[in-house]
Amino acid sequence: MTEIKETITKGQAVDIADAKVYNDNVKSVSLSGDKENHGHSGVVHTPHREVDFEDKLDFVNVDINGIYTYRHDDTVFKQRVYVTDDRHAEGIQVYGYASKQYKDRRRDNEQSYFSIYFDNREQVIQFANKCLDMLLIQGETQALKTRYKDEWNGHPDALAHFPSLLEQTKCKTGRYYWDSSLNKAVEITKDTDKDILDAHPDYDTDENGNFDQSWTNENAEELLAGLLAGVESGWDNDDFNGIRVADLQTGVGSYGTGQGITRHKGKNPEDKRKKQWTTTFYYTNGESETLIGYWDRLRNGKVTRLEWKE
């Protein structure tokens, strides 16, 4: 790791400090040769010492978020961040401001300020280390975003707590609930916690407190029967066309609430004058499968190509 150290020499620091002490203590002299009284309107001369590298040392090239940053002919926008030792206590402060000044005197100017205080070298080093840590993290974050750019949810594990379509359908029947801590559908029994039943969106009861199957539950039962039939058949038939519907990844896709299916209409490589549909199926194991055409999953779980939509 590169050592954190000063960017100026000791000699330069001495010159800056000397000029600062001088400028803080030098007094104006009146035309009569006396110390100028505060507020006198006469022509006076106040000496001021400068160093060539003062601005390079103090001012930092950053943006301050806190005031509008656009420019207009009638508005002057300024922002600065600098390091100074002007403190009542020992140490330094990082001082920043942003201002918006209007040429129209009838409008009030706007200012925004902040200060960060450092009491000693250790605090400065800690702060610098954190900044370097954040730079490293930010660089790695961008690298991961590039690596995961083709992931549906931006990270390969982002959907790990979502059920497969089979498990989700079990829960939608109202006879199961999804336990994300176990990553499985758990059957509802007389011992199931009441808080779980009250929070279950597909578990409704009648006036006697007994489970009352809804239209949504009935549709889920139909789909569940079809998925179980597909598991039994091995999927490689005209009903499912090789698509493992039970293993589709919920939480991804454009079908309904996101049940593992996306469609895209793009150029046809065989005839560039035309466009064609492609349908992609995403599975819980991270695999995906793309078929030419507009494919749909029916209520009973079967998969078919809808040529009339193409």
The predicted-structure confidence for 180-234, as pLDDT tens digits, reads as follows: 888 899 999 999 999 999 999 999 999 998 999 999 999 999 999 999 999 999 9
> How large is the angle between the packed helices 165-172 and 215-233, nearest 10 degrees?
150
Using alpha carbons, list the distances in angstroms from residue 55 to 42, 84, 125: 31, 11, 22
275, containing H or E segment: strand 271-282
Of 8-17, 171-180, 229-238, 277-286, give the lowest mean pLDDT range. 8-17
Residue 23 has pLDDT above 70, yes or no: yes
Token digits of residue 37: 């009284």
Residue 58 has what pLDDT? 56
Residues 6+ apart with CB under 8 A from 304: 241, 295, 296, 298
Residue 86 has pLDDT above 90, yes or no: no
CB-CB contact of 98 with 66 (8 Å): yes
Residue 235 has pLDDT above 90, yes or no: yes
Calculate the CA 221 to chain-centre distance. Answer: 39
Listed residue (230, 277, 274) closest to 254, CA to CA: 277
CB-CB contact of 221 with 227 (8 Å): no
For the chain, the average pLDDT equals: 84
The C-alpha atoms of residue 23 and residue 38 are separated, in whole angstroms, by: 16
The C-alpha atoms of residue 203 and residue 187 are separated, in whole angstroms, by: 12
The C-alpha atoms of residue 84 and residue 118 are separated, in whole angstroms, by: 11
User: In this predicted model, which residue has the larger pLDDT, 244 or 53?
Assistant: 244
pTM as predicted: 0.67
User: In this predicted model, which residue has the larger pLDDT, 278 or 3?
Assistant: 278
List, for residues 129-172, the tens digit of each pLDDT value.
888 888 898 999 899 989 998 887 788 888 888 899 999 999 99
Q: Does the CA dihedral 253-257-260-263 come out positive or negative? A: negative
List, for residues 38-53, the tens digit of each pLDDT value.
555 556 677 888 877 6
Residue 55 has pLDDT above 60, yes or no: no
Token digits of residue 294: 């507009």
Write the single-letter amino acid at 26. V
Token digits of residue 309: 């939509």
The C-alpha atoms of residue 184 and residue 181 are separated, in whole angstroms, by: 8
